Amino acid sequence: MMFVTAQQLEQQMPDATRLLSDEPEMETSLHYVYDRYKNHVRVFKLMGTSYEAISLPENRFWLEELELGLGLWQGSYQQTTGLWLRWYNTAGWVPTRREQAEQERQWAELEHQRAERLAEYLRSQGIYPDSLS
C-alpha cells in the first residue's frame, strides 16, 4: 500500500485532489475517483492527514459494513455501451430501475402463464375456476 499526501495526489490526479480538497469540511474517510478516459477506479482512505491509495486489482471495492461494493461494469446504460461505475452486492450487480422493472415484468408474465396452465388443467378436470368465488 502507498500513502499519498494531497500534494502528491494533485500531481498524480489533479481532478482527484480538487475533489478531495474542495470540501475540507467533508469528513469522509473514503473517496472514489473514476478516470473515464483510462477506465480506472481508485479508492483513497483517509489516514490521519493523508490519503492511502487502496489497491483494486479488479477495479472493484467492497464495503463490508454496507454489504455493497462499487466497481466497473461493462454494458449498456441509457443507450450507451461502455464501462460504468455500478453498485454490486453478494448476488451480483444491483439492477437499475429499468432492469428491475423488466425483471418484474418477466416474473409477472411467468406467473400469468402458470395461472393459465393451472386453469386449463382444472377445466380438463371439470372444474371451472372462472365460476369460483
Confidence of residue 110 (pLDDT cuts 50, 70, 90): very high
Read off the pLDDT of each residue in 48-66 and give the average, rounded to a whole number: 87
First to last CA, the chain: 68
Query: H helices within 52-127, ranges in order?
Result: 97-124
From CA 103, how far away is CA 98, in angstroms rounded?
9
Q: How far apart, in Å, are the Cα atoms of 27 and each of 24, 63, 67, 81? A: 7, 17, 21, 35
From CA 47, how far away is CA 44, in angstroms rounded?
9
- Mean pLDDT, all residues of the chain: 82
Q: How many CA atoms lie within 13 A of 100 on its CB side?
A: 5
- The answer, yes or no, to whether residue 84 has pLDDT greater than 80, is yes
- The answer, yes or no, to whether residue 77 has pLDDT greater than 50, is yes
- The answer, yes or no, to whether residue 24 has pLDDT greater than 70, is no
